[in-house]
Amino acid sequence: MTHLRMSATSCLVAFLACAHPAIKADNVEIQILDLEHQRQQAQLRGDWQTIARLNAPDFTEIAGTGLIRTGAQNAEAMRSGVLKFDKVDYSDQEVRLYGNVAIVTGIGHRSGSFGGSAFEQRFRYTRIYARQEGGWRVVFAQTTRIEAPTP
């Protein structure tokens, strides 16, 4: 009976040791997707303070046009009203974890105005999160426009 109990206990410990990383990974994926949702909602509300909080101080973005912007520039564009979003949708999001780094890829569709000129964009994007003091923050993002197929 003691041998059976020890075997069962050993199996349970081995199972939990193997299962724990998966549970942890799933939990981190949920956290990252929640941060993506917070970003979407903040963009729609023009909530530049939330965007600034979600981004690391040294955040850099390469836009679909090739323009390089800092987090401070993005937040200021929203704060000043230069950048306004009417629609922000993200789909096909996939999260990959590498220790203290999470990479999110997906498809985005946004419309709004920049400097008074209307825009509508469909793009693929990559956002890189790093676990820092205070939680996960975006350190880098890049978008690539999805062009209409040529006939």
Cβ neighbours for 17, distance < 8 A, ≥ 6 positions apart: none
130/56 Cα distance (integer angstroms)? 8
- For the stretch 79-111, pLDDT in tens is 999 999 999 999 999 999 999 999 999 999 999
Q: Using an 8 Å Cβ cutoff, are 147 and 123 in contact?
A: no
Q: Does domain 2-145 have CATH number 3.10.450.50?
A: yes
- For the stretch 14-23, pLDDT in tens is 443 344 344 4
Q: Using an 8 Å Cβ cutoff, are 63 and 79 in contact?
A: no
- For the stretch 38-50, pLDDT in tens is 999 999 999 999 9
83/102 Cα distance (integer angstroms)? 27
State the pLDDT confidence band at 123, using cuts at 50, 70 and 90: very high
Average pLDDT, stretch 34-38? 98
Please state the domain extents for the chain.
2-145
CA dihedral 71, 73, 75, 79 (to 10 degrees): 170
Helix or strand (DSSP H, E) at 28 = helix 2-45
| The predicted structure's pLDDT at residue 53 | 96
Average pLDDT, stretch 65-92? 94
pTM of the predicted protein model? 0.79
State the pLDDT confidence band at 150, using cuts at 50, 70 and 90: confident
Greatest Cα pair distance, the chain, in angstroms, is 78
103/46 Cα distance (integer angstroms)? 25
Percent above pLDDT 90 for the chain: 77
Q: Helix or strand or coil: residue 47?
A: coil
Measured from the Cβ of residue 71, the count of other Cβ atoms closer than 10 Å reads 21
- For the stretch 130-144, pLDDT in tens is 999 889 999 999 999
Structure tokens at 58: 């040294």
